[in-house]
Amino acid sequence: MATAAVAGTVRPKSFWRDWVLTVDHKKIGIMYAVTGLFFLIFGGLAALAIRTQLAMPGAEVLKPDSFNQFFTMHGTIMIFLFVIPMLAGAFANYLVPIMVGAQDMAFPRMNALSYWLYLLGGIGLMISPLLGAMPDVGWTAYPPYSIESKGIGLDLWVTGVHILGLSSILGAINTIVTIFNMRAPGMTLNRMPLFVWAMLVTSFIQLFGVPALAGAVTTLLFDRHLGTVFYSVAAGGDPMLYQHLFWFYSHPAVYVMVIPAMGIVSEIIPVFSRKPIFGYHAIAYSSVTIGLLGFLVWAHHMFVAGMQVEAGIPFMVTSLIIAVPTAIKIFNWLSTLWKGSIQFTTPLLFSAFGFIFLFAIGGLSGLFLAAVPIDIHLHDTYFVVGHFHYVVFGGTMMAIIAGLFYWYPKATGRMYNEKLGIWTFWIYFFGTNLTFFPMFLAGYLGMQRRVYDYIHTPEMFLWNKLATAGSFIIGFATILVFYNILVSLWKGAKAEANPWGAQTLEWTVSSPPPEHNFHEIPVVTAYPYNFGVSGKDHKRFSDDDAVRV
Amino acid sequence: MPTNWLPESINIIGKQVDSLFVLIFGISLVAFILVEFLLIFFLIKYKRTKQNQEGLAVHGNTKLEIIWTLVPALILVGLGIYSTQMTYDIQKASAADAYEIEVIGRKWSWEFKYPNGASTINKFMVPEGKDVVLKVTSVDVIHSLWIPDARLKQDAVPGRETVIPLGKLQGGKEYPVICAEYCGTAHTKMLATMTVGKEDEFNKFLADAKKASEEGPQAGEKLAMQSCLSCHSIDGSKSAGPSWKGLYGSEKKLTNGQMVKVDDEYIKESITNPGAKVPEGYSPMPPVAKFDEKQLKSITEYIKTLK
């Protein structure tokens, strides 16, 4: 991706000045994307190693300790180094300024700093395998186990998470200020693209949530090395404090991974249905609702952690209620498809058939876990693993790939291979279901999480073999995505400014866009989804308030 | 709705949880079919063709949107009320006269303590038809005691006592008891089994367990866990002290160059007078708890089992 953005335009600058010292939000976005995809390779390989072991229990593909290290690295890389930086870093950086009609982020140098901090934190996390001291505590790092866990791996982990958190906070401030202060004339809040709405909510979540995580991991580090006793029972500390702090951030973090993905889907579906998005305001405000409610559900991760059982009830209620704004979005997307003129492109398939179909399964399986009595049975089992992989892989990952293909022509000036893209989608769809659906069954029947064997339940063998087969299919599909992205850089047809006929501002400029986005700041006169029969006679962004039937 | 397609649960709470599961499953299934049917139907029906080049310019429908906000909200409120009721039932389920068994989690085994002072490791029995309550705690890191067949679990947290109200149990098999909270290297193998015993069966079990807790290898194992196993491994791995695996009957070289055969006498001397004969490569053992003759014998018996 990186080289092609340069290929289309003549730039006399050296690589050093052009990329390393750049403060251009588009280049920083691309750097985030390339780095994130690079980390995805390691997160994915760790997943395949875990699944291989689980298909052959007893064979010791991985030693027990290695297995524990691999699932820790898998979770940490995927969440902190791939999904969040991809959405809140790559997509937000590339799209937010240009979508609101600004020439750059509000603080371009701070934006560059966010990226370099991300890279630094990433290196901090990834260096432990090279030192032979990978952390083995799971991505949640619960004390007291994480305090006892020996080796520098966990200290690097804490430091890495800290630096990544700083990067996130700076990025969030930048995004919020950009959205509030840098919009082009006429771009009212209610004319903002839905992706921008999503990033506004996400940035607020990061801003308010990350400090709690920082507090949790800092106290952990102090307990490990400075003799403090935050989490030491013998000296009056309480290990549950960590869980409260950790989940106060890490549950909302799930929405950091999902709301931008929903934003991407909301951009793609109207364009390929040639229809205005159905219920623009409902979609925008439901993101806000999810963002607010997201901070009120954290203890549903702790129903069996030692709280009184009925203390979970308020959290059960909020966890159930949060399904409502999510359901609203799904109904809105379905209504947008209704009576549309749907073009089966790769981004559309990944959004509609990928995100909506699979996320529905992920969301509905969440209802079981929200209910205290069932969660008492299912907590820390493979049912949970299945649930969040349907949400984060079936949902978010599908949206990320949809977005990668959708904005690929804009960022690189080249078209990707559509036929290969569609094949890739169907392979993903099959592989995802084959991998994650059996986990629901294994979980209910008695298979706990984070185990390299399941000796007590030999009947799990079939479900695990299917899941492992599925994971290799997913791996293969991911190789196809990389292949498509790389080969199309050279072989792809030249992209025009607006290959999809979309109406958001980034499509009004050349592909790739010029350095400062707009030669003249655009004046916005309507909201960006005026597709359809009645919209035919209107020019793009012509004056037209929402038509309601 | 019938719950008999789920694996059988062995107590009343388990059956209630299953019925709630089936209820939510039913609601989810309807929602799932609705969403996926509409999705696939719309995708196929409104596929772009020569005749269908533009979508309908509809921006929204307030009435429809209010309906599809309220309907799920009402369903979820109903579900919330029903689940809340059941949550209180679970909380109250521990009857005052319930039979209490203490459970201690440690890396990586479960210990069960009975009111008569007996205790067992990784195996326990509950009396059939009596209300049973487990009081769970941990001596090191967080574990989680899960009995899938009873649909119940609680974390074992150091410094805190959590309660698992099993209720009245029925069933004639061995049921797996699992550690569900990740706790390190051997988390996977931290397994126990539970059986449900008829009255005489249970009484015999208790008597046997009491005897075994007082002397013999099992008592020794427990003492070792409390006092010895932080420095001595039982799997041959390196630690501060010599591993106990294959120790009994082996020949050891001492720091003064002499050879010694590890037998009852040597083990007893090493525990009571650690400085006397220190094996080569190790520093003298720090003083440990005072053990009486019976306890020393039990520990030796335990070491003998580690071949």
pLDDT range class, residue A12, cuts 50, 70, 90: low
- Summarised one tens digit per residue, pLDDT across range A147-192 is 987 788 999 999 999 999 999 999 999 999 999 999 999 999 999 9
Q: In the predicted model, is pLDDT for residue A540 greater than 50?
A: no
Residues B209 and B262 in one domain: no
Number of domains in chain B: 2
In angstroms, what separates the C-alpha of A276 from chain B's closest C-alpha?
6
Q: In the predicted model, is pLDDT for residue B244 greater than 90?
A: no
Q: In the predicted model, is pLDDT for residue A536 greater than 70?
A: no
Sign of CA dihedral A525, A528, A534, A537: positive
Residues B177 and B242 in one domain: no
Which pLDDT score is estimated for B255? 85
Domain boundary (B164, B193, B213) is at B213
A424, part of any domain: yes
A530, part of any domain: no
Q: In the predicted model, is pLDDT for residue A76 greater than 50?
A: yes
Report whether A31 contacts A18 (CB < 8 A).
no
Q: In the predicted model, is pLDDT for residue A234 greater than 80?
A: yes
Q: Which residues of A touch B76 (CB under 8 A)?
A: 320-321, 323-324
The answer to whether residue A334 neighbours chain B at the CB level (below 8 Å) is yes
Find the CATH number of the domain harbouring B151. 2.60.40.420
In angstroms, what separates the C-alpha of A479 from chain B's closest C-alpha?
27
Amino acid at B153: K
**Domain residues for B147?**
99-213
Domain boundary (B213, B234, B251) is at B213
Yes or no, beta carbons of B55 and A304 under 8 Å apart:
no
- Summarised one tens digit per residue, pLDDT across range A240-297 is 999 999 999 999 999 999 999 999 999 999 999 999 999 999 999 999 999 999 999 9
Q: Stretch B150-168: mean pLDDT, rounded? A: 94
Yes or no, beta carbons of A334 and B53 under 8 Å apart:
no
Residues B126 and B197 in one domain: yes
pTM of the model: 0.89
Yes or no, beta carbons of A320 and B76 under 8 Å apart:
yes
In angstroms, what separates the C-alpha of B24 from chain A's closest C-alpha?
7
Q: What are the φ and ψ backbone dihedral angles of A156, each rounded to 5 degrees?
A: -65, -40
CA B114/CA B103 separation, integer angstroms:
9
Which pLDDT score is estimated for A11? 57
Q: Which of A101, A26, A51 is nearest to A541 (CA)?
A: A101
A537, part of any domain: no
A49, part of any domain: yes
Q: Which residues of A touch B183 (CB under 8 A)?
A: 145
* Residue A131, burial from CB neighbour count under 10 angstroms (0-12, 13-18, 19+): exposed
Nearest CA in chain B to A536: B54
pLDDT range class, residue A233, cuts 50, 70, 90: confident
Which pLDDT score is estimated for A538? 42
A2, part of any domain: no
The answer to whether residue A419 neighbours chain B at the CB level (below 8 Å) is no
Q: Which residues of B touch A273 (CB under 8 A)?
A: 46, 55
Q: Which of A486, A343, A499 is nearest to A422 (CA)?
A: A343
Cβ-Cβ contacts under 8 Å for A193 (sequence gap 6 or more): A99, A267, A504, A505, A528
pLDDT range class, residue A533, cuts 50, 70, 90: low
Which pLDDT score is estimated for B268? 86
A198, part of any domain: yes
The answer to whether residue A323 neighbours chain B at the CB level (below 8 Å) is yes
CA A64/CA A94 separation, integer angstroms:
42
Q: Which residues 338-367 in chain A show a CB within 8 A of chain B?
A: 338-344, 352-353, 356-357, 360-361, 364-365, 367
Nearest CA in chain A to B31: A364
Which pLDDT score is estimated for B216? 76
ipTM above 0.85, yes or no: yes
Pick A276's closest partner by Cβ from B28, B58, B146.
B58
Q: Which residues of A touch B8 (CB under 8 A)?
A: none
Task: Report which of residues B216 and A107 the model is more confident about.
Answer: A107
**Domain residues for A57?**
19-507
pLDDT range class, residue A545, cuts 50, 70, 90: very low
Report whether A1 contacts A411 (CB < 8 A).
yes
Pick B21's closest partner by Cβ from A273, A368, A450.
A368
Q: In the predicted model, is pLDDT for residue B71 greater than 80?
A: yes
In angstroms, what separates the C-alpha of B77 from chain A's closest C-alpha?
8
CA A521/CA A440 separation, integer angstroms:
52
Q: In the predicted model, is pLDDT for residue A360 greater than 70?
A: yes
Which H or E run includes B165? strand B162-168
B197, part of any domain: yes
Which H or E run includes A469? helix A461-491
Q: Which residues of A touch B57 (CB under 8 A)?
A: 275-276, 530-535, 547
Beta pairing partners, A483: none
CA A134/CA B48 separation, integer angstroms:
51
Q: Which residues of A touch B157 (CB under 8 A)?
A: 239-240, 305-306
Find the CATH number of the domain harbouring A63. 1.20.210.10
Nearest CA in chain B to A147: B141
Q: Which residues of B touch A446 (CB under 8 A)?
A: 7, 146, 148-149, 176, 178
Report whether A225 contacts A158 (CB < 8 A).
no
Task: Report which of residues B66 and B92 the model is more confident about.
Answer: B66
Beta pairing partners, B251: B261
A547, part of any domain: no
Q: Stretch B73-85: mean pLDDT, rounded? A: 94
Tell me, rounded to whole angstroms, the distance of Cα A374 from its chain centroid. 27
Yes or no, beta carbons of A145 and B184 under 8 Å apart:
yes
Pick B57's closest partner by Cβ from A276, A317, A450.
A276
Q: Which residues of B touch A314 (CB under 8 A)?
A: none
Q: Which residues 264-283 in chain A show a CB within 8 A of chain B?
A: 273-282
CA B79/CA B72 separation, integer angstroms:
10
- Summarised one tens digit per residue, pLDDT across range B248-305 is 888 888 888 888 888 888 888 888 888 888 888 888 887 777 788 888 888 888 888 8
Q: Which residues of B touch A360 (CB under 8 A)?
A: 31-32, 35-36
Q: In the predicted model, is pLDDT for residue B217 greater than 90?
A: no
Yes or no, beta carbons of A240 and B68 under 8 Å apart:
no
Q: How many CB atoms lie within 10 A of CB B154?
A: 27
Question: In the structure encoding, which two tokens stand for residue A503, read together?
Answer: 């109406």
Yes or no, beta carbons of A373 and B17 under 8 Å apart:
yes
Nearest CA in chain A to B83: A371
* Residue A19, burial from CB neighbour count under 10 angstroms (0-12, 13-18, 19+): middle
Mean pLDDT of chain A: 92
pLDDT range class, residue A414, cuts 50, 70, 90: very high
In angstroms, what separates the C-alpha of B109 from chain A's closest C-alpha?
15
Pick B142's closest partner by Cβ from A65, A145, A531.
A145
Question: In the structure encoding, which two tokens stand for residue A260, read together?
Answer: 């931008």
Nearest CA in chain B to A314: B84
Q: Which residue has the tokens 């052959």?
A: A56
Residues B270 and B224 in one domain: yes
Q: Which of A347, A341, A269, A346 is nearest to B49 (CA)?
A: A341
Q: What are the φ and ψ backbone dihedral angles of B238, each rounded to 5 degrees?
A: -70, 140
Beta pairing partners, B123: B193
Which pLDDT score is estimated for A547? 41
Q: In the predicted model, is pLDDT for residue A107 greater than 50?
A: yes
Pick A327's closest partner by Cβ from B72, B153, B181.
B72
Q: In the predicted model, is pLDDT for residue A541 greater than 60?
A: no
Cα–Cα distances in angstroms (integers) from residue A532 to residues A541, A545, A549, B47, in the given order: 14, 14, 14, 15
Pick B186's closest partner by Cβ from A64, A338, A530.
A64
Q: Which residues of A touch B47 (CB under 8 A)?
A: 342, 344
Yes or no, beta carbons of A275 and B183 under 8 Å apart:
no
Between CA A43 and CA A49, with CA A46 as vertex, the angle to 5 degrees is 155
Domain boundary (B151, B183, B213) is at B213
Residues B239 and B262 in one domain: yes
A interface mutation test: which of B28, B56, B151 has the most A CBs within 10 A? Answer: B56
Cβ-Cβ contacts under 8 Å for A199 (sequence gap 6 or more): A88, A91, A92, A95, A96, A175, A179, A260, A263
Which pLDDT score is estimated for A1? 42
Find the CATH number of the domain harbouring B278. 1.10.760.10
Yes or no, beta carbons of B47 and A360 under 8 Å apart:
no
B279, part of any domain: yes
Pick B54's closest partner by Cβ from A149, A335, A533.
A533
- Summarised one tens digit per residue, pLDDT across range A458-500 is 888 999 999 999 999 999 999 999 999 999 999 999 999 999 9
Which pLDDT score is estimated for A542? 36
Which pLDDT score is estimated for A132? 86
Q: In the predicted model, is pLDDT for residue B228 greater than 90?
A: no
B33, part of any domain: no
Q: Which residues of A touch B141 (CB under 8 A)?
A: 144-145, 148
Between CA A176 and CA A329, with CA A249 as vertex, the angle to 5 degrees is 65
B70, part of any domain: no
A interface mutation test: which of B188, B189, B238 has the most A CBs within 10 A? Answer: B188
Which pLDDT score is estimated for A457? 80
Pick A273's closest partner by Cβ from B55, B60, B88.
B55
Residues B204 and B227 in one domain: no
Beta pairing partners, B253: B259
Which pLDDT score is estimated for B1? 59
In angstroms, what separates the C-alpha of A23 from chain B's closest C-alpha?
38
Cα–Cα distances in angstroms (integers) from residue A375 to residues A31, A247, A301, in the given order: 41, 16, 9
Number of domains in chain A: 1
- Summarised one tens digit per residue, pLDDT across range A145-154 is 999 877 889 9
Q: Which residues of B touch A341 (CB under 8 A)?
A: 46, 48-49, 52-55
Please give the interface size between A and B, counted as residue pairs whose CB atoms are below 8 Å apart: 285
